[in-house]
Structure 1
Amino acid sequence: MKDWIKKLVIAILLLYNLLLGNDYAEANQLANIDVQQLDILPVVENLASADNIWESRKEDWRRFREIVKGTEKLEGLFTLYSSEDSGKIYLEIKPEQLNKDYLATVTLESGIGESGIYSGLPLSDFLFYFRRVNNNLHFIIRNVKFRTQASTPEQRSLARSFSDSVLYSLEIDSIDPRSKNILVNLEDLLMQDFPGLTPLLKYSLQADYRLEASKSYFGDVNSFAENVEIDSIYGFSSLEGADLVTVPDSRALSLKVHYSFSQLTENNGYIPRLADDRVGYFITAFQDFSKNNAQERFVRYINRWHLEPSDPNAPISPPKKPIVFWIENAVPFEYRNAIREGILMWNKAFEKAGFQNAIEVRQMPDNADWQPADVRYNTIRWFNSLDAGFARGPVRVNPITGEILDADIIVDANMLRLIQQGYRALMEANSSLGTNPCQGKAEGRRQKAEGKRQELVIISPPASSASPALFFSSDFCYGAESSAQAAMGALALSLLQNATPSSEAMKEYVHQYLRSLIAHEVGHTLGLRHNFHGSTMLVPQELNNIEITHTKGLAGSVMDYLPANIAPQGVQQGDYFPGVVGPYDEWAIEYGYKKSPQALLEAIIPEAEKSFLEQIALVSPQPELSYATDEDIWDINPLANVWDMSSDVLVYSQWQMDNARVMWQRLDKGYLSPGESYSNLRVLFNRVLNYYFRNATLLSKYIGGQSFRRLHASDDTSWAFVPVSLPKQRQALAKLQEYVFAEDAFSFSPQLLNQLAPSRWQHWGSPVLGNRLDYPIHDRILRFQTGVLRSLLDCDRLNRLQDIELKTLPGEALSIPELFDTLQKDIWTEVLTQEPQAISSIRRSLQREHLNILLEMMLRTTDAPEDGRTLAWYELRQLQKAIDTKLKQLSENLDIYTLAHLEVSSDRITKALNAQLLSK
């Protein structure tokens, strides 16, 4: 064959391969093939069809050019084409970007300022990838809960056992015929309800809202080397609207959502660290099917930042890349120093772990060209609301390794406003005595729907897309009560030390509070969970000794929920809130961040650090390192509480209730300024009453209480559970009698009670309350006493008391008969004495409630252990005998209230005993 024919054939084949989409190098390899070895006929046939292929490719090119024509090209992790005229945004995906994991973080960038819809809230974060299926591009959330080693039979089994989630299927608009890059319209992905706001609005606002495509559009869009940042503004409408006051017309509202799609850094030297239940970290957990360990299939990594020392051989050195927090430019000037100090408090802990200046703080410029929700920046954000009053420190984590990638702390301005302005004139709804804050919010929604508001409820101990559960996390509940606690401390400062809102003492108080609040939230962003044992480090007498608190700390951990430390009468006031992190905090940071010797080796795996980490965790039995988190605090452990202080809560609570009584006396002595509304006095009275009740409630946890420690068998000889000693339980019962049940526990002057007027303003944000105009003092006291009494006699506590009898030596446990007998003697004292004694209205109400509880137990209308039911029957028989004796001997000397009360009580017991006999 002549050379020119050979060259022609090679050129045609080269062109043909290019048209098919092969790259030039692959096509050019044909030049090395002997043309005589080619079968010319198939080549000619292929050339005949090449014309059709060429036409198809021309159409693809034309379509691609038409789409991107006139758009702004934004190159970065993903190339974006943004059209200002049409508002459309197209996403270009390279072939090598298919089936590759990326991190999505979704943030509610603007809210409505009430009912749980607040700006800055994290909505979701997850791992996703793109997969091409025919002419569609699937957006898929990766299932990271189950793993196994690659290239094993288990991997094939795992792939078909657990499904990923194909969230959306996007029609491919065009494919570049040369690069094979895929072009899709982002409207198909982000202009629908991608974050799941519709069900969230329905739950939070109790109304049906639908997304309006014509009112929705893209905002700022940016593409960087490692991330893409996109704002979507969603318009929602509802035919009936919701009961909202923060929007002009509740039938329509707009929400901005910020999306960050970022690349996960691979092979960056980060080593996942194994978790230990003695040290409180948030964890990334998965099931490992490659391990033949029937005892424990879960693998748990702590969530932490990737910190590497710049000098691995030095005992302490700066990190190669510090953790940098930016203070948002929306934060008021007067609070920035306190926020800065709160962030930097943690550097002391990192020094113990070998890092100098591990955390840095920078101020976001007023002309910054980036947004706080940008995944590249860790920020302290400030927002406003009508009803929130919380701070929260969420983080975004690599769900494969547990490496923390981003953190944004959000702070509601109300948390400071309640202290500085509202401590004298808060809305009554905000000062009401609440139950579990979560329960209070749910109850508030129910009452709001009914057109009612509530001033008081009894105190009890406290995803991949947006969901109602998002707003019921412990952080939000903490925030609601935290602001109330802080406001209470400011009120105490005003009533006990005559501090004015503008005084230096009040400014210092606010500074200490905000610094401590930020330190707590930063602790969350470092990976730490709550530690509700932290408050027990100091004995009561050390709480106001600044020589101790300025060095060792006011608490073992700032990750506790700490009230304002209000000194008892006659004691010089010390720190109100911690100014340094505690010993537990330092130890926890050491566990999470100290570099292990094994980390200097190559190809280290997490399991290689086990012995190193065990040596750190072994010191956990030290009292100042005690740890108890959210799931450890319900009822059982009297030292694992929220809003308590010191190692002796019996002493601490008594101090605070005595402080409350002094504050009531100050309120009774003309505390209001001339011209000030009496409604302010009602608010302040409620707040002090709330404080009194909460501290009294802490005492009840001693009854049937057990300390619980997260010990391992090798830690020491201590038990995991240690029952509260019998003397302590008896002391708690005596204090409950004195401060809760006694005749003189509550004594208020007629003058004070007749000045507790409600607010009479009626407008948005300040409705007239639907309950009584005058102050319902009997109802308030009874509801509190009822809460404490029913808590003492509830089924769980009685079961625990019965179990503890098996866990202690004879005579060392508080028995159920002793509890029943003590309460009956304390509550029915007037009946059990030989003297004619009138029973006051408050005592009559308490006695009726006690009688109700015993009758419910005996008649099986409430849960109770069988021994509890028989003891209820026994106590009722004894009570009936005492009442009948009293009526027989002293009926002529009793007032009509007392006489009627006792006769009715006796009659109820008789009928209940007869009913029980008949039922059997």
Structure 2
Amino acid sequence: MRILFKLPLVTLILSCLLLINMPLAEAQEQSIEEFTESLERREGFFNLYVDQAKDRVYLEVPENAGAFIFQSSLPRGVGSNDLGLDRGQLGATRLAHFSFHGERALLIEKNTQYRAITENQAERLSVQEAFAESTLFGFDIVAKTDGRVLLDYTPFLYTDIHGISTRLQSLNEGQFRVDPSRSVLWLERTKSFPRNTELEAKVTFSGSQAGYYLRSVTPDSSALTVHLHHSFIALPPEDYEPRAFHPNSGLFPNSFQDYAVPLQQDMTTQYVRRHRLEKANPSAERSEAIEPIIYYLDPGVPEPVRTALIEGGEWWNEAFEDLGFINAFQIRDLPADADPMDVRYNVIQWVHRATRGWSYGYSVVDPRTGEILKGHVTLGSLRVRQDMRIAQGLLAPFSEEKDTEALLAEIERVALHRIRQLSAHEIGHTLGIAHNFASNSQNRASVMDYPHPLIELNEQGEVTLQNAYATGMGIWDKFTVAYAYSEFADQETERRGLTSLLEQAREQDLHFISDRDARAAHGGHPTAHLWNNGANATDELNRLVNIRSQVLNQFGLSNIAEGQPLSDLEHVLVPMFYLHRYQVEAAAKLVAGVHYRYYVTGEQPVDHTMVSSEQQQAAIDALLNTLGTDFLTIPQSVQQLLVPNAYGSYDSREDFPGRMGLFNDPVTIAEASANHTLQLLFHPLRLNRLQWQHANDASIPSPAQVARQALQATWDTLEDVKDPISQRTAYVTAYQIFQTSMNSNTAPEVRAALQQVLRHSADKLADDADSWRYESSAFSAYLARLVNQALIDQEWPEAFAPAELPPGSPI
């Protein structure tokens, strides 16, 4: 009976399911024309069909569409520099294609890192099959017609294509995922054009445990709503000729492995990144371009910044004019109906964040050839205000004895000149040009360096910023443009022409050193630095120290406007007190420094030599000078003005560090500065190099000698009990030397030498303390015991973390 009862029930259920599925089957059999009859058609590279009532978008794809470039981006961002999810940020650029399987379509990213450039199809296929591809999404095919398929694209728009969840999680800013119920299409920016198709959605991420940075920029930190953008871009015409990369070209490389090269040849193939630029009349000495490089300016940029951005950006036209191009580089206003993410527009965007931060030059690059299809500049809006604050601290414009109006105009002039340079710098990246951090040491030879304002004293001994920043293209910039954009008749002429350009650069003694070598705290190139000036880092540090002393001695009420809370004075004092910070980094690189370039065999002599012992000792002396009590002490007249925050004002990370609660802490302020110098001087990798250099040239100071000099400079003043800054500096010096000795990257021979110096110095300090009066001996005896205990335990005996400087870069 039970079996007889179940069979009709099963039959009934199957019949119902069949009836339910019939409309779906019928829909799948529909033609595209039938399915889209009531939908809005947006024709272009891939036709779009919009169902506004149901908030869905469909993509029509020919089955033989082939490869294209798929670009994702973030049109509307989060607003936090620390999170790095800025308005207009470009995501990954992918070479992709659609693959069709029954009622499913896959969007597949090709693997462009491993290739075989050959006519042999089987050889190409063998490499393709050897390395994985990435399937980005699978789509339902809802209709078909004559070799064309219609995809429901909507679900893909509601995915985290930009990696926002991963980014937040990696920064401990919370666990978030896309919430489709709170996400919608953004049809204003969903369009199709002959060679590109653009789609956009307003996407909400829901989550919990939001961190500080996310909470600070969201109305409700459990819901983060941004815009995500997808671009389908037709492959550019195939007549583009990739240009060979050279380590000294100053350009970004587009690199991949070519498995088809001869066995004797390096598999790594590198092309430079550059825009397509051709003369309309190649035989003419001067000619307009077939298609000039045009950048479009964000309409949200206010004056006078807007004009400054245009003026600085147009400096690049000088370099193209030198190549015989007429008006080949232009800047225009972005059309009112244009989408900044549209690949047809090179864009300069003015981007706001909660705190000041970096600017960037992104590009959409054809991964096959290095051709730049779109430049996208992101300029942080708050940097100009930091530049004005620095100038305000230097010029003290609010004195009754000065022409305040003229000085305020000068401050704005300096800040806008920095904006011009910044515009040129970031546009340079989108032209394919890398940083050159050796150019500031070569009379500011490039806009692709990070410039520190050149601060000088006039004939009256007053601070002047008349020459704060350079104007126009530098000689290095013109070389890089020539390498990337010069036209040649054929490949052999190009090879000879590029070789000639490199030879000319060497004859002019132009140096190129980029990020990896210049940014590291342990770097050792003597002329490659960030935010520096001068040919010799030590000389410039000594000069800047003298200017800093004058600025601090004259600092006071004239540095802020009447009517401001007095506590705001701290904001202006911070960059003045730490004015030396970047030049300290530069001088530290002379210690264990090495002269070198990016050598290519057969092209130039190898002048790979150590920085001389005299230069190294001079740098050590200059660095130790920044540990002196006089240097680290804020003038008493200024200390009197450093009051707690006014009601309605709050601390920020831009303020001084401290351990005195609501009150400014001159001792910890000094500690942060001293710690900055000591961390650089006693970096483990620097001391490892120094040990090796000393072994090869005994005139170069050893790590032990440097440690001894630092301890003498900071411990010999400890007899004065009235000087807590000396005591704190002595403590931090011992702490940093010991921490370096225990660092896992410190070589054993360096560790042994440092600990021996600490042991001998601590014993001597203990002996000296016995002969001092009780008040003076207490701290010295304590420090000696601390060091000896650390050497026994092989760890610092008490919890201590030296104060760090407030944020510096970027300026």
Q: How much has 1:331 moved relative to structure 2?
A: 1.6
The yes-or-no answer on 1:260 pairing with 2:244 is: no
1:157 alignment counterpart: 126
2:21 alignment counterpart: none
1:116 alignment counterpart: 84
The yes-or-no answer on 1:396 pairing with 2:396 is: no
CA pair 171-676 structure 1, distance change in 2 beyond 3 A: closer
Question: Is the 8 Å Cα contact of residues 621 and 711 (structure 1) preserved in structure 2?
Answer: no
Q: How much has 1:175 moved relative to structure 2?
A: 0.9
The yes-or-no answer on 1:714 pairing with 2:602 is: yes
* Deviation readout 1:399-447 (Å, 9 max, x if unpaired): 1010000012122322234445xx2xxxxxxxxxxxxxxxxxxxxxxxx
Q: Specify the code of the residue in structure 2 equivalent to 1:731.
A: A
- State how 1:401-800 maps to structure 2 within 5 Å: 401-419=369-387, 423=389, 488-494=390-396, 503-538=408-443, 555-568=444-457, 570=459, 573-598=465-490, 609-622=494-507, 625-633=510-518, 634=520, 635-668=523-556, 671-719=559-607, 721-738=608-625, 740-761=626-647, 772-800=661-689
* Deviation readout 1:664-708 (Å, 9 max, x if unpaired): 222246644554312111222222122233333432222111122
* Deviation readout 1:455-507 (Å, 9 max, x if unpaired): xxxxxxxxxxxxxxxxxxxxxxxxxxxxxxxxx23432346986559843233
1:450 alignment counterpart: none
| SS of alignment partner, residue 143 of structure 2 | strand
Select the residue among 127, 131, 134 that pairs with 2:99: 131
Q: Specify the code of the residue in structure 2 equivalent to 1:335.
A: V
Q: How much has 1:212 moved relative to structure 2?
A: 2.0
2:753 alignment counterpart: 871
CA pair 668-136 structure 1, distance change in 2 beyond 3 A: same
Question: Is the 8 Å Cα contact of residues 838 and 895 (structure 1) preserved in structure 2?
Answer: no
The yes-or-no answer on 1:94 pairing with 2:65 is: no
Select the residue among 272, 277, 282 that pairs with 1:302: 272
Q: How much has 1:237 moved relative to structure 2?
A: 2.4
Q: Distance in 2 between matches of 1:227 and 1:130?
A: 16
Q: Distance in 2 between matches of 1:354 and 1:631?
A: 34
Q: How much has 1:904 moved relative to structure 2?
A: 3.5
Question: Is the 8 Å Cα contact of residues 621 and 715 (structure 1) preserved in structure 2?
Answer: no
Q: How much has 1:907 moved relative to structure 2?
A: 4.5
Q: Specify the code of the residue in structure 2 equivalent to 1:526.
A: L
| SS of alignment partner, residue 263 of structure 2 | coil
CA pair 611-65 structure 1, distance change in 2 beyond 3 A: closer
Structure exhibiting the larger radius of gyration computed from Cα positions: 1
| SS of alignment partner, residue 143 of structure 1 | coil
Q: Distance in 2 between matches of 1:236 and 1:665?
A: 52
* Deviation readout 1:315-362 (Å, 9 max, x if unpaired): 332211110111122221322221111121011112333322220121
Q: Specify the code of the residue in structure 1 equivalent to 2:452.
A: P
* Deviation readout 1:866-919 (Å, 9 max, x if unpaired): 44344335534653564466456xx2xx34332223334454566677889xxx
Question: Is the 8 Å Cα contact of residues 530 and 586 (structure 2) preserved in structure 1?
Answer: no
1:896 alignment counterpart: 774
Q: Distance in 1 between matches of 2:665 and 2:619?
A: 28
Select the residue among 200, 216, 219 that pairs with 1:231: 200
Q: How much has 1:130 moved relative to structure 2?
A: 0.6
Question: Is the 8 Å Cα contact of residues 301 and 350 (structure 2) preserved in structure 1?
Answer: yes
1:44 alignment counterpart: none
The yes-or-no answer on 1:173 pairing with 2:142 is: yes
How large is the RMSD of aligned CA atoms in angstroms? 3.1
Q: Specify the code of the residue in structure 2 equivalent to 1:558.
A: V
Question: Is the 8 Å Cα contact of residues 339 and 514 (structure 1) preserved in structure 2?
Answer: yes
1:105 alignment counterpart: 71
Q: How much has 1:313 moved relative to structure 2?
A: 1.7
| SS of alignment partner, residue 128 of structure 1 | strand
Q: How much has 1:186 moved relative to structure 2?
A: 1.2
| SS of alignment partner, residue 506 of structure 2 | coil
1:11 alignment counterpart: none
Q: Structure 2: which 5+ runs fail to align?
A: 1-23, 795-811
1:46 alignment counterpart: none
Q: Distance in 2 between matches of 1:657 and 1:299?
A: 47
| SS of alignment partner, residue 619 of structure 1 | helix
2:111 alignment counterpart: 143
Q: Structure 1: which 5+ runs fail to align?
A: 1-55, 424-487, 539-554, 600-606
2:8 alignment counterpart: none
- State how 1:260-339 maps to structure 2 within 5 Å: 260-267=231-238, 269-294=239-264, 296-339=266-309
Question: Is the 8 Å Cα contact of residues 245 and 765 (structure 1) preserved in structure 2?
Answer: no
Q: Distance in 2 between matches of 1:790 and 1:240?
A: 34
Q: Specify the code of the residue in structure 1 equivalent to 2:332.
A: R
TM-score, scaled relative to structure 2: 0.86
Q: How much has 1:207 moved relative to structure 2?
A: 1.9
The yes-or-no answer on 1:802 pairing with 2:691 is: yes
* Deviation readout 1:181-222 (Å, 9 max, x if unpaired): 111111132233333333234445712223222221212221
Select the residue among 847, 850, 854 that pairs with 2:730: 847
CA pair 492-186 structure 1, distance change in 2 beyond 3 A: same
Q: Distance in 2 between matches of 1:704 and 1:205?
A: 37
The yes-or-no answer on 1:206 pairing with 2:173 is: yes
Q: Specify the code of the residue in structure 2 equivalent to 1:632.
A: D
Q: Distance in 2 between matches of 1:146 and 1:180?
A: 31
Q: How much has 1:763 moved relative to structure 2?
A: 8.7
- State how 1:352-367 maps to structure 2 within 5 Å: 352-365=322-335
TM-score, scaled relative to structure 1: 0.76
Q: Distance in 2 between matches of 1:347 and 1:648?
A: 32
The yes-or-no answer on 1:371 pairing with 2:339 is: yes
* Deviation readout 1:243-272 (Å, 9 max, x if unpaired): 5244332232321122221101232x2100
Q: Specify the code of the residue in structure 1 equivalent to 2:285.
A: P
Q: Distance in 1 between matches of 2:184 and 2:296?
A: 29
Select the residue among 795, 804, 826 that pairs with 2:713: 826
* Deviation readout 1:778-809 (Å, 9 max, x if unpaired): 122123223322432332122111222465xx
* Deviation readout 1:138-197 (Å, 9 max, x if unpaired): 111111111111425422321221121111121211111xx2311111113223333333
Q: How much has 1:66 moved relative to structure 2?
A: 4.3
- State how 1:32-43 maps to structure 2 within 5 Å: none
